[in-house]
């Protein structure tokens, strides 16, 4: 499931001059005001900003949930800025995994079924997808909870299911929106370490949005956003030196 067309560089995400302008009455609100960056394959990137900075809008556009007003987004070799909804759904199904703040597990399904859900959407056979789901659950350390429903699990366990669900697709990119926002500090650390660990092992690109600098410090690279513009973009070596 690697990018159909290989890009010239090694970047799996390439954003150029991205604008998103909302109209609030007659007033124009620039949520994103000309953002450009590239993300290499296998990188763990944190997008950091306060609320209202435009970081969530950026993530939504990268994931193909919102259309940009202007600019190009090239992900896994596909220019998605002009995709219609059908194409976007297909694009997500084939290339992208998601980790949500509020886990967003299906309450009626147990852990295995939840993890296997994206595979179900791909039309995969039940036996194959459950085998893959079990493998993913094992990877996040939940082999004992495979038959539990979301309501029977703690927040940390639920988020592990969420991570397993994102991993099971073996996607090129995983997007995470405040993945530990609802968790206590101990669990937060566990989860972040797990994510860090897993993406390194699988060489998956991970883009995480957060407002917390400490959480961002787990990433390989931090992009800081303020008022719709990138104000800082540094690699791990740099920001570790700064501290």
Sites for other proteins among residues 113-142 (CB under 8 A):
117-118, 120-123, 125-126
Q: Closest approach of Cβ 104 to other proteins, in Å? A: 5
Q: Closest approach of Cβ 45 to other proteins, in Å? A: 18
Q: Tell me how crowded residue 200 is: count the other CB atoms within 10 A of its CB.
A: 13
| Residue number with CB closer to other proteins (174 or 220) | 174
Q: Per the structure block, which two tokens stand in for 110?
A: 């147990």
**In Å, what is the CA distance from 93 to each residue of 64, 81, 126, 172?**
11, 17, 17, 11
Residue with tokens 């394959």: 41
**In Å, what is the CA distance from 88 to each residue of 59, 70, 83?**
14, 17, 6
How many Å apart are CA 232 and CA 37, to the nearest integer? 11
Query: Does the footprint of other proteins cover residue 5 (CB under 8 A)?
Result: no
Q: Closest approach of Cβ 25 to other proteins, in Å? A: 21
How many Å apart are CA 199 and CA 205, to the nearest integer? 7
Binder to other proteins among 178, 195, 199, 208 (CB under 8 A)?
Answer: 178
| Residue number with CB closer to other proteins (89 or 231) | 89
Alpha helical stretches, state H, 65-154: 85-95, 111-121, 126-139
Nearest partner of 166 among 177, 153, 155, judged by Cα: 177
**In Å, what is the CA distance from 127 to each residue of 123, 132, 165, 196, 208?**
12, 9, 16, 29, 32
Listed ranges 20-28, 131-139, 176-184, 221-229: which one lies at the site for other proteins (CB under 8 A): 176-184
Q: Per the structure block, which two tokens stand in for 184?
A: 């206590």
Q: Closest approach of Cβ 235 to other proteins, in Å? A: 28
Per-residue binding letters, 13-52, with other proteins (x by CB under 8 A)? ----------------------------------------
Q: For other proteins, how many residues bind (rule: CB under 8 A)?
A: 31
| Residue number with CB closer to other proteins (127 or 242) | 127
Per-residue binding letters, 77-116, with other proteins (x by CB under 8 A)? --------xx--xx-xxx-x-x-xxx-x-x-x--------
Sites of contact with other proteins (CB under 8 A)? 60, 63, 65-66, 85-86, 89-90, 92-94, 96, 98, 100-102, 104, 106, 108, 117-118, 120-123, 125-126, 165, 177-178, 181
């Amino acid at each position: 499931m690697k990018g159909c067309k290989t890009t010239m560089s090694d970047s799996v995400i390439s954003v150029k001059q991205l604008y998103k302008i909302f109209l609030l009455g007659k007033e124009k609100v620039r949520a994103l005001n000309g953002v450009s960056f590239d993300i290499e394959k296998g990188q763990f990137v944190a997008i950091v900003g306060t609320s209202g900075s435009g970081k969530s809008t950026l993530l939504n556009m990268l994931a193909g949930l919102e259309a940009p007003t202007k600019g190009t987004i090239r992900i896994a070799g596909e220019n998605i800025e002009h995709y219609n909804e059908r194409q976007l759904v297909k694009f997500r199904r084939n290339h992208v995994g998601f980790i949500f703040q509020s886990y967003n597990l299906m309450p009626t399904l147990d852990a295995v079924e939840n993890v296997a859900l994206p595979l179900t959407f791909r039309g995969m056979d039940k036996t194959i997808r459950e085998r893959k789901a079990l493998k993913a659950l094992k990877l996040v350390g939940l082999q004992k909870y495979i038959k539990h429903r979301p309501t029977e699990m703690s927040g940390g366990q639920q988020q592990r299911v969420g991570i397993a669900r994102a991993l099971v697709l073996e996607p090129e990119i995983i997007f995470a929106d405040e993945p530990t926002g609802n968790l206590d500090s101990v669990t937060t650390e566990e989860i972040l370490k797990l994510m860090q660990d897993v993406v390194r092992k699988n060489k998956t690109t991970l883009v995480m949005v957060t407002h917390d600098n400490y959480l961002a410090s787990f990433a390989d690279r931090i992009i800081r956003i303020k008022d719709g513009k990138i104000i800082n973009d540094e690699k791990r070596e740099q920001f570790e030196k700064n501290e």
